[in-house]
Amino acid sequence: MDIVTSTPESELLQALQAALEALEQPDREPGTITAGEFAEALGMGHGAAARRLKRLMAAGVVEAAMVQRTDAWNITRHTQGYRLVAK
């Protein structure tokens, strides 16, 4: 358990999996998430979600990557995010 976040690694991984499954849509790259999307899925602030994503990066679960997102006007852009590492 991490003193800073007090969330066990297994709970973080479960939260990440749940957030990724909720985001599965045809216009999104599979296995990708942004810090904002992760924060919204967990119901917490952006900073807290970013710290958890950094822990998942350190554990080799995700990697930083530019990911594609399509907005309401159907414009696709690259933004900072995270990609699930295939094992």
- Please give the domain boundaries of the chain with CATH numbers for all domains: 9-84 (1.10.10.10)
Mean pLDDT of 25-43: 82
Please write the tens of the pLDDT for every residue from 40-61: 888 889 999 999 899 889 989 8
Work out the angle between the directed axes of helices 9-23 and 35-42 (0-180°, nearest 10).
100
Model pLDDT, residue 17: 75
Model pLDDT, residue 46: 92
| Cα(57)–Cα(32) distance, integer angstroms | 13
Contact 31, 8 (CB under 8 A): no
Contact 38, 53 (CB under 8 A): yes
Position 2 pLDDT exceeds 60: no
Tell me, yes or no, if the pTM score tops 0.85.
Answer: no
C-alpha angle 30-34-38 in degrees, rounded to nearest 5: 95
